[in-house]
Chains A and B, each alone.
Chain A
Amino acid sequence: MDFSSLKERAEKNWKALENLKQPLIQIGMGTCGKAAGADEVFAAAKQTLKQMNLLGRILQVGCIGTCYLEPIMAVRKPGGPFIYYGNLTAKRTEEILLSYLRDGDPKTEWAVCFTGEGPVDGIPRFEDLPMIKPQVRIALRNCGIIDPENIEHYIARGGYNGLMRALRMNPGEVIQEIKDSGLRGRGGAGFPTGMKWEFASNAPGQTKYIICNADEGDPGAFMDRSLLEGDPHSVLEGMLIGAYAIGCNEGYIYIRAEYPLAIKRLETALKQMREYGLLGRNIQGSGFGFEIHIKEGAGAFVCGEETALMASIAGGRGMPQSRPPFPANKGLWGNPTNINNVETLGNVSAILAQGAKWFAGFGTEKSKGTKTFALAGKVERTGLIEVPMGIRLKEIIDEIGGGVAKGKKVKAVQTGGPSGGCIPADLFDLPVDYESLTAAGSIMGSGGMVVMDEETCMVDIPRYFLSFTADESCGKCIPCRLGTRQMLDILNEICEGKGAIEDLEILKDVSETVQKGSLCGLGQTAPNPVQTTLRYFRSEYEAHILGKKCEAGVCKPLFHYEIDPETCNGCGVCSKKCSVGAVTGEKKKPHSIEPDRCTKCGACYEACKFHAVRIC
């Protein structure tokens, strides 16, 4: 079938869904939604419709980004708005559906927001939610709105228009369009995508490859997973456009095995593309042919590095190689290869559909467009967000994230995972763009953003990251293999109270050697967590070394718990929670902790509602 008839059919079916004469229920069924209990909500919704003898449709959608509200359901009566409910249980789902669909009461006291025809008394529009208002959704344009397993939904929302436009242009014009848009790689380093394509396009060779890097290995990052689960076609379309521009007929998606749902959605999407003539030989009669293979990673962080990734696809140990030769000239099996990140490709399809000028209208002079972030950690509203480049960190943390949870004090934000750094709260005026974050010692990274509060120890954090990078170092080059280990040893000593003040100089020295001497990005950036914490939180290091204190209450040898007799009302919850019998006291009288018995597990500290248990 040609594309215009496909489009016509998809739009007709989408319209029919919009004008559905029965109730329509959408349930977010991404990994996060399922982890929070979306399967039970789905079953309850199905059962309740049956119980009411109501014909209705239930649609599984991807992640809408408000992860802290999972599981989420949106309900629409024919002709009405979608009303969103969050933090659902099976019982609450049933109550809502019975009340709204049978008795006509939408139970707005349990609702979060609405979309479509309004207003609805008592609840705001989705776009007006404080978490959503500052956001601009380009890469995530369809997430949470369409059924990711239905290609027609994607087409009806303008999908594959970008590819069709690209196929009418010549490859050089497509590259120019991407260059004009100012798009830079969203995997972390921020290299201009158009330039990268041009290198691969100009490289001599008959066989060329394009690879989508979905080996989202940074702990604390889940943007790529959410995008692949919520809108796989946007990434696949971007890949097709890239392949056409560069001149390749074969591509690979290298994806983590830890993302089974994303893999399943990709497999479904590829099957549908083939059925619709959007994959295979002679795509839509253009003469351009393309095949995509899925390669599952096997759990090695270093495989996010381009040359290591290709070694892994070829079936070996995923170890990087020195460059040059660059992958654009000599990549997979010695052929010119172009590697793009998931989000980059999701942007490509939007740029070709809407034009370079439109895209370049967002962001700053050097960082165009938007960036997705996985906002997590000690923040009130966690979720998947997409913001225009140049937004200030403060706006992300306070407005979108709603500030630090439980009224604690914010200390820092960590961007870029193990390759990034910790930015202290007094720099939260910093605009989010590639250059500003690098100047602060961190990196944009792939989009992990973990907020830290007063209970996060800024010596433990680099220790945590170093234990990760030391573990994941492939061992090929000495600075990374030994240097990460050396830094970790020093940090372990400091956290155990055995550090000396001279260690800080050694730490700095080693970190510079690892940064300058390592073969690949893993080693070159591994010192960032150490360097930024030394730069911004030196006093915490000194408190660990000189004062033998961990004020955050994380490094066990350097603190103990005490119960404040003034605040303690003797409710006894703490002693019940203590598994080693270290908390004792008579009912209604102040309790106390026996230091010799206490294992510092923190159970009493978490259990006390009156904040009588203190870190000392």
Chain B
Amino acid sequence: MEQAIYQEQSVEGMPEVEDLFNEMRKEFKGMANELIPMLQRVQRMLGFLPEQALLEIARLTGLSTARVYGTATFYAQFRFQPAGKYIIRVCRGTACHVKGSDRLLDTIEEYLQVAPGQMTPDGLFTIETVACFGSCALAPVMVINDSVYGSLNRSRALKLLDEIRVREEANIKNLSLS
């Protein structure tokens, strides 16, 4: 059975959504062909599409909420739950596949104990898969936020994650000390 994209009602009460839409109203005219660019803008700013934002977009464009939901859920780019600070996207393209990206993904899943699409409990990492990044000559490839890492093997990939974790833990320590 398909899972509902929103677990519970969280329609009101996100001030950042209201602020964002105050900005967006100046820029977008509310035309139907602006629907995808609007969804992209919300995700870029908030990291995901909260239910409140989809309702706002429906209001702004005059499209039915079903149409807005239907379009948003059609495309792989959109996320309906908050994502971790670091989004790890493992490329599942052909060249990466023949060079073992499925095993790389297994290793990362096992290490972080979450499946693709999920966030680690500490809010640090989200794993996602992408059909192809187009960096096939450097397969297997993984992208952490905007940085592309190529010619990976298991130990290099885990080392990258460890470095982030150590850095973040140090940051937290520094913050609590000051």
Residues of A within 8 A of B (CB): 31-32, 34-36, 67-68, 70, 216-222, 225-226, 257-260, 295-301, 312-318, 374-378, 382-384, 414, 417, 448, 450, 452, 456, 461, 464-465, 468, 472, 474, 601-603, 606
Structural contact, A222 and B146, CB atoms closer than 8 A: no
Q: Which residues of B contact A313 (CB under 8 A)?
A: 33
Structural contact, A452 and B98, CB atoms closer than 8 A: yes
B136 at the interface (CB under 8 A from A): yes
Q: Which residues of A contact B33 (CB under 8 A)?
A: 313-315
B107: which of A222, A382, A461, A601 is its contact (CB, 8 Å)? A601
Which of under 10, 10 to 19, 20 to 34, or 35 or more describes the interface residues of B?
35 or more
Known contacts A36-B150, A260-B146, A382-B137; is A220 also within 8 Å of B103 by CB? no
B138: which of A36, A226, A301 is its contact (CB, 8 Å)? A36
Structural contact, B95 and A450, CB atoms closer than 8 A: yes
A258 CA / B150 CA spacing, docked (Å): 16
B50 at the interface (CB under 8 A from A): no
Structural contact, B76 and A378, CB atoms closer than 8 A: no
Known contacts A35-B149, A317-B70; is A220 also within 8 Å of B39 by CB? no
A258 CA / B132 CA spacing, docked (Å): 8
Known contacts A220-B93, A417-B94, A606-B153; is A31 also within 8 Å of B135 by CB? yes
Residues of B within 8 A of A (CB): 31-37, 39-40, 67, 70-71, 74-78, 92-100, 103, 106-107, 130-139, 141, 146, 148-151, 153-154
A458 to chain B, nearest CB (A): 11
Known contacts A259-B134, A376-B136, A603-B154; is A315 also within 8 Å of B32 by CB? yes
B96 to chain A, nearest CB (A): 8
- By CB atoms of chain A within 10 A, which of B103, B146, B153 has the most? B103
A307 to chain B, nearest CB (A): 15
Structural contact, B103 and A374, CB atoms closer than 8 A: no
**Total number of residue pairs linking A and B with CB closer than 8 Å:** 151
Cross-chain pairs A/B with CB under 8 angstroms, 28 sampled: A32-B135, A32-B137, A32-B150, A35-B148, A36-B138, A67-B137, A216-B134, A219-B97, A220-B94, A220-B132, A221-B136, A257-B77, A298-B36, A299-B76, A300-B75, A317-B74, A377-B95, A378-B98, A382-B137, A414-B94, A450-B95, A450-B136, A461-B98, A464-B97, A472-B131, A474-B74, A602-B100, A603-B154
Beyond A257-B77, A450-B95, 8 additional contacts (C-beta under 8 Å) are A220-B95, A297-B75, A377-B99, A382-B139, A417-B94, A456-B98, A474-B74, A601-B107
B39: which of A217, A259, A298, A417 is its contact (CB, 8 Å)? A298
A383 CA / B95 CA spacing, docked (Å): 12
Structural contact, B98 and A217, CB atoms closer than 8 A: no
Known contacts A219-B93, A601-B106; is A315 also within 8 Å of B36 by CB? yes
Structural contact, A257 and B94, CB atoms closer than 8 A: no
Structural contact, B76 and A222, CB atoms closer than 8 A: no
Q: Which residues of B contact A465 (CB under 8 A)?
A: 94
A383 CA / B137 CA spacing, docked (Å): 6
B136: which of A222, A260, A297, A601 is its contact (CB, 8 Å)? A222
Structural contact, B134 and A602, CB atoms closer than 8 A: no
Structural contact, B67 and A221, CB atoms closer than 8 A: no
A103 to chain B, nearest CB (A): 32
Q: Which residues of A contact B40 (CB under 8 A)?
A: 257, 296, 298
A414 CA / B93 CA spacing, docked (Å): 13
